[in-house]
Amino acid sequence: MDIRFGIGYDVHQLTEGRKLILGGVDIPHSLGLDGHSDADVLLHAIKDALLGAAGMGDIGKLFPDTDMTYKGASSIWLLEQVWQRLTEKGWRVNNIDATIAAQKPKLAPFIPTMKQNIAQTLRISPERVNVKATTTEGLGFVGRQEGISSYAIASLINDAN
């Protein structure tokens, strides 16, 4: 049995005229995240953690922003693509732990749906997914509400190794 861990990080700038989507949830807010896909920083960090644990690169390599196929793509759909690639190599997701850093809006009411979306896509129990939200107490680009960032750790198991 092979057990591996990976870490992911992502950040996107807040901007007008875009939806704020985190964990596959459309969150009411006056600003959204700018990016090539739907700019879901939580799912981007999770995908990078999963790919890192499997030694399969990162989302920039897998879904380059120069490829118009991924323009405006749903990050839930992209997470599904990562899951498929992992399972093809014999990996299964053990757990996810992630943190979103955002000054506003308050995210606590949306976290249960985020967890459910992630768990369903990765075919694991919601108890194996942990999502937290924090502010930066007004410090840095997050505190100035210029952007939102996310960190994630994932563990994978491969029973064949």
Give 114-133 pLDDT, tens digit per residue: 999 999 999 999 999 999 99
Amino acid at 112: P
- pLDDT of residue 149 exceeding 90: yes
Q: What are the structural domains of the chain?
A: 2-158 (3.30.1330.50)
- Name the more confident of 159 and 32: 32
DSSP 31-67: -EE-SSS---HHHHHHHHHHHHHHT---HHHHS-TT-
pTM over 0.85: yes
Annotated binding site for a divalent metal cation: 10, 12, 44
Annotated binding site: 10-12, 36-37, 44, 58-60, 63-67, 134-137, 141, 144
The pLDDT tens digits for 60-115 are 888 878 877 878 789 999 999 999 999 999 999 999 999 999 999 999 999 999 99
The pLDDT tens digits for 38-47 are 999 999 999 9
The pLDDT tens digits for 16-32 are 999 999 999 999 999 99
Q: Give Cβ neighbours of residue 137 (< 8 Å, ≥ 6 apart).
A: 143
Say what the pLDDT of residue 161 is.
Answer: 63
Q: How many CB atoms lie within 10 A of CB 88?
A: 8
Q: Is 135 helix (H, G, I), strand (E, B) or coil?
A: coil
